[in-house]
Amino acid sequence: MLSFSKTNARFSFDGLSQTISNSVLLLAGLVLSSILIRFLRGTRYRYPYPPGPKGFWYLGLPNSKVPMKKFWLTYIEWGKKYGDLIHFSRFGKHYLVINSLQAARDILDKQARVTSDRAHTRIDEMVLGDNMLKTLGSVSYGDKWRKVRKLFHQNLRAESMTQFRPIQTQQVQSFVGGLVLSQGTLKDHIATLSQKVMFLSLYGLDISSNKEEMPARNREFVEFFDNGIIPGWDGWKSIPFIHLLPSWFPWGGRLIAALHAQGEITGEGASKPWDAVQEKIKSDGNHTSLIAKLLSETDPDNDEEIDRIKWFGFQSIAAAADTTLSAISTFFVAMSLYPDVQSKGQEELDTVLGKGRMPTFDDRPSLPYIEAIFRELMRWHPALPMGVPHDCIEDIVYDGCYIPKGTTIYANIWAMTHDPSVHKDPDCFIPERHLREDGHFENINSILAYGFGRRVCVGRYMANDTMWLTIASTLAAVNISPLPNGGNAEDYFSEGAFCSPHTLDCTISPRV
């Protein structure tokens, strides 16, 4: 019998083979049991699943059939064949993509009580641990979620925004002033702006670049999160007892190792700014920040609430960083492709404010065309074209179709904001479509990019302010040149889960 030793452990090839055989038999038995349970449960309803592409029994769609690049466009094409609701499964896990606004309102808004959960598996709990499951975007719907959500609502609601506006104004003006002279890339300049606003507002910490350790950790977290919002990507997590696969197992081992790494990144991303602000509070008696204020109002023995404050800060920065970066980068693409829109915006600013004066938040009601540019930006290329997925906690029957408990539901926001029956020439950037005769705009909650139901983006008011002021200030101060390749906007956007420009080749020059 061949054997070898490594780091004080001995492994038997015969024993290894037997272990593998037993593991395979056990896994097969568990899979068959899971299939039987799901089948018996599914027969409770006479209604069919929503239509969609068919895969293999239990295995569902093979990986090669799951759209991975600009998948929101694929689901629009599938919608022409299957309708507004598209269903498919992978390893017994059900997925539903909603292509119409009416269906999204009916399922995610009107039935929010049962469609506001997040998908969690045993492997998430084991590998990612409490770290990942403490963020508002990941925590399961229930009492714990309500407590976390309350913290966000109290501190990021519309009425609370005035406390952040001095920081936003200062940082946006600094950003605009450095557009012409900046040594880095335009995208790095934008990323630094979005991070600086959040780190200063929440922690009172100043960063000089988005490439510093703390903002870089946040970026790593978001990059991993991006993969997790691709419909069907996480189906493998539903395989029974996959979390028991040994690390040497070729396929599962790599995936589990990646999840372990993500858990570490998440923990560090939350701990480093938290530790830094704690040091600031100790060393500087005059230190002011939102986190410092919340801690001063909290019983130091209330570990649960202090932990919530820590994770509130982490997710606020992580969520805002990529969303704001994507939206502002898209603004530069839009102005480069539509110089007439840029000219109209600048003309309004010059007429209302006078040439050379920078806009303030008080000027917003007097600048309807600038507001229309912002609204069109959010419609034209939403940062998350399919939002963040919801999970349903009960069986649902909608429009004669059965949506089983545990289905992960995606709202195809891109399909809704590019519906030609609602928006004429939807692929074109036309701010005028948002201007009404009465001069009013719809409530911010009408912006579909912020999501649906009880999982709507809680940081939307802060993101809204930062993006609007950046748009208005940039148009007031500089000219954005046309992009060299012209025409097709899609050439400038990446193919990942986040709809963000991958290149910004425009030239910035001061307005004379």
Name the residue type at position 382: P
Q: At 512, is the secondary structure helix, strand, or coil?
A: coil
The token duo for 425 is: 């020439």
The token duo for 319 is: 């969520």
The token duo for 322 is: 């990529």
Do 124 and 266 form a contact (C-beta atoms < 8 A)? Answer: no
Q: At 207, is the secondary structure helix, strand, or coil?
A: coil
Concatenate the DSSP letters of all residues of 49-100 into one string. PPP----BTTTBS-GGGS--SSHHHHHHHHHHHH-SEEEEEETTEEEEEE--
As a whole number of angstroms, the distance between CA 333 and CA 504 comes to 7
The token duo for 309 is: 């404050």
Distances in Å between the alpha carbon of 51 and those of 79, 263, 362, 406, 448?
10, 36, 50, 18, 25
Beta-ladder partners of 508: 480
Do 412 and 96 form a contact (C-beta atoms < 8 A)? Answer: no
Q: At 4, is the secondary structure helix, strand, or coil?
A: strand
Greatest pairwise CA separation for the chain in angstroms: 89
Q: At 271, is the secondary structure helix, strand, or coil?
A: helix
Distance of CA 109 to the CA centre of its chain: 19
The token duo for 48 is: 């069919």
On the 0-12 / 13-18 / 19+ scale of CB atoms within 10 A, 6 is exposed
As a whole number of angstroms, the distance between CA 137 and CA 149 comes to 10
Q: At 399, is the secondary structure helix, strand, or coil?
A: coil
CA dihedral 398, 402, 406, 411 (to 10 degrees): -40
Would the annotation count 506 as a binding residue?
Answer: no
As a whole number of angstroms, the distance between CA 118 and CA 187 comes to 32
- Strands 401-403, 396-398: parallel, antiparallel or unpaired by DSSP? antiparallel
Annotated binding-site residues for heme read 457
Annotated binding-site residues read 457
